[in-house]
Amino acid sequence: MTSYKTTAVFDETTLPAGFRREHRTKAGAWGIIRLLEGELRLLFADGREELLSPQRLGLVRPQETHRVEPVGAMRMQVEFHDREPDLN
């Protein structure tokens, strides 16, 4: 599974404001939210919510509206893929 783009590593203080408000991935792009430390809440526009950790990745499908909220101290980054990644 190879990503075509990976963000910088963000922590709870450097996480961009755009990630904290509703946004969506572009058409044809899957995002994997990878926690390096701590926890992060992934909230979807349809009301679903996931608590991410280093052991639990977050998957955002193409054009899926979502936002994130840090849960205390954390470090994370996002990988972008042009096809659905296998998270197993």
Is residue 35 within 8 Å of residue 15, measured between CB atoms?
no
**In the predicted structure, residue 1 carries a pLDDT above the cut 70:** no
Q: What is the average per-residue pLDDT within 28-54? A: 97
In terms of C-beta distances under 8 Å and separation of at least 24 residues, what long-range contacts does 50-56 make, across chains too? 52/76
18 Rama class: left (phi>0) / alpha (psi -120 to 50) / beta: alpha
Confidence of residue 2 (pLDDT cuts 50, 70, 90): confident
- Interacting residues of 47 by C-beta distance below 8 A, sequence separation 6+: none
> Among residues of the chain, what percentage have pLDDT more than 70?
99
Is residue 3 within 8 Å of residue 32, measured between CB atoms?
yes
Is the whole-model pTM more than 0.75?
Answer: yes
